[in-house]
Structure 1
């Protein structure tokens, strides 16, 4: 059976067929990049060993964040840095989801919508963290945006990894009074209120684009309706350390919403892919046409120049002094950055060793790009 990949899918769908797929320019450019990844389209470079012997000429990677072929090293480097940064303290994993009635607003205002999600979640945590009845200190937390369900449905939500406690004004680590840190019902109401407040302000400022079937009055009515129901804010069981959640986030921070191993078969222009269902806890299969599957994958690619993970509190990159103040209280060494793993280190971790065919040296140096 012929083996398919996201790259091969895009190569078949975007060869002069961009107009038929009707996708935004940034998605079309992403598909072009992924289609050309590690092919002659991207050009090539030579690699030499430390002793100057030519080890080979290789095609360049596209380096697009949504490419499932060339982003493994980037994920490993992020995980290596955050494995070293994380405080040796219990962490919580929260998931914030907006109602699916707002998906039309999401489709037409994606940049504004995802920024509003980050604001609503971060301001909710800041407000509760400052309140002495809950914590009265500054925790460290990071927020990661995911836009998909496991079956590639549109499901924008925020994952939050947050320390159990934080630094108070005197610089001492303070633990919360509750095992779950913050009450779930209060988190739900604050997140809902802050998000809908942002919607109303954006309406007043004329910042939103409306879908054909929805106008300002209808969105206002929908916001009022959604303000009276519970939103999905889920508190996972606490983790003894944040590394488990960090590994989960690293898996999805780059490389797209689906990996090549999930593509089961392609026949008669219909693709079958598999996923593990949240509802049944079983592996399910779904069949869609090739053009539809391409659109499903592309709509979950990150917006150009917009980070999908943001950092706050003592985990913010500018707050290293506060981070080290907290680390000292947990008897952790000062964090001053780490030597990120090279692609050779990553290959060694995977059990793959590259050696020079002439002298056996395992150290390689990439030379200037080879002209096409």
Structure 2
């Protein structure tokens, strides 16, 4: 398998000479972090067997949230947290897409535009929930920002997973809406567009010459919601491409594959090494920006409400957790016992006299 670190090592100089002027400081930091991920350049941690005297040193992962080589444990933890908040209701995935005419503005002001997308998407869904004849209350939602298409092009959009259910705080009622229809996607798009343009006006952002009248919002039924959460969670902390999808790296070019969203078949694309690194690094988010957010009664501050709903409706979300794959334990090569981390972030120079595992 070709690692992203190996691609960076081979094409970093070409990439920087061509794209240096377009890079932000956090993108350069991400480049250097992913280059050293679990390589001879990274620090190591000492692990000891709990049952025998065996010890070894393991290369550290870089911890960069755009790195496809690590962050698997963080992804699993996020999925578990969200599944524990599941409620007995039909779930829907609403996808709010930023039109192409505004994407250059998003590149210039990513933190502001992405925050606006989150705020306006949630405000739109909250208003529809309060005005819906069957719901008429406060909704709950889990929103995740994606900035890439399957082909790795720049395509900012927000997935919002929400149950067709509300909490009526005044009457203290729990209401649900049954069926595979939640809200009309064209109506959602109109309100989302109006809210985004109003915020742009408030922030005094320059309007492009042509803003489309019709924006795209998709509203899709996703059953109990667990599969949609697992899908989003798996791509939340692992960057924009899996390393097994990097097929070749030779003659100054990189070939990778992606799944076509319409045909569901895999397609391949070949670009220069520098171009490939730009396709990956253009999706690095501003430092500290949260790309996953919870709203309404699914907010972390509403744990008491969730527990009450589970108790009153006798709903146990842990049944779904049992079906998730458990993270494999790090076992001892000598006796098979559990390995325990002793020290972290040890510089390579301290253990150069000891052999490292390949």
TM-score tier after normalising by the smaller chain length: 0.7 to 0.9
Partner of 1:9: 7
Structure 2 residue matching 1:143: 3-state secondary structure: strand
Q: Distance in 2 between matches of 1:220 and 1:15?
A: 35
Partner of 1:233: 217
Q: Is the 8 A contact 1:89 1:163 kept in 2?
A: yes
Q: Distance in 2 between matches of 1:172 and 1:272?
A: 54
Structure 1 residue 291, shift from structure 2 partner: 0.3
Partner of 1:347: 328
Q: Following superposition of structure 1 onto structure 2, how do residues 190-205 of structure 1 map, counting pairs within 5 Å?
A: 190-203=191-204
Q: Distance in 1 between matches of 2:101 and 2:317?
A: 47
Q: Is the 8 A contact 1:48 1:367 kept in 2?
A: no
Q: Distance in 2 between matches of 1:115 and 1:134?
A: 30
CA displacement, residues 284-305 of structure 1 (integer Å, 9 cap, x when unaligned):
1111100011001001122210
Structure 1 residue 309, shift from structure 2 partner: 0.5
Q: Following superposition of structure 1 onto structure 2, how do residues 141-152 of structure 1 map, counting pairs within 5 Å?
A: 141-152=141-152
Unaligned runs of 5+ in 1: 209-215
Q: Is the 8 A contact 2:7 2:249 kept in 1?
A: no
| TM-score, reference length from structure 2 | 0.88
Matched length: 341
Structure 1 residue 134, shift from structure 2 partner: 5.4
| Residue 346 of structure 2 is aligned to residue 365 of structure 1 | no
Partner of 2:315: 332
CA displacement, residues 72-131 of structure 1 (integer Å, 9 cap, x when unaligned):
111111112222221232111111112111111111111111011001101101111222
Structure 1 residue 8, shift from structure 2 partner: 0.9
Q: Distance in 2 between matches of 1:61 and 1:120?
A: 36
Q: Is the 8 A contact 1:167 1:326 kept in 2?
A: no
- Where has structure 1 moved over 4 Å in runs of 4 or more? none
Q: Distance in 2 between matches of 1:52 and 1:286?
A: 50
Structure 1 residue 221, shift from structure 2 partner: 4.3
Q: Is the 8 A contact 2:184 2:219 kept in 1?
A: no
CA displacement, residues 308-365 of structure 1 (integer Å, 9 cap, x when unaligned):
1110011100111121222223213599xx9xx9x9x5115xxxx62351x4322423
Structure 2 residue matching 1:133: 3-state secondary structure: coil
Q: Mean Cα displacement is larger for which, 104-113 or 126-135? A: 126-135
Q: Following superposition of structure 1 onto structure 2, how do residues 264-343 of structure 1 map, counting pairs within 5 Å?
A: 264-332=247-315
Q: Distance in 1 between matches of 2:178 and 2:9?
A: 55
Structure 1 residue 15, shift from structure 2 partner: 5.3
Q: Following superposition of structure 1 onto structure 2, how do residues 125-136 of structure 1 map, counting pairs within 5 Å?
A: 125-131=125-131, 133=133, 135-136=135-136
Partner of 1:212: none
Structure 1 residue matching 2:203: 3-state secondary structure: helix
Partner of 2:16: 18
Q: Distance in 2 between matches of 1:21 and 1:13?
A: 12
Partner of 1:246: 229
Q: Distance in 2 between matches of 1:282 and 1:240?
A: 24
Describe the shift of the 1:21–1:253 C-alpha distance in structure 2 as closer, same or farther (beyond 3 A): same
Partner of 1:261: 244
CA displacement, residues 261-281 of structure 1 (integer Å, 9 cap, x when unaligned):
111212210111111112443
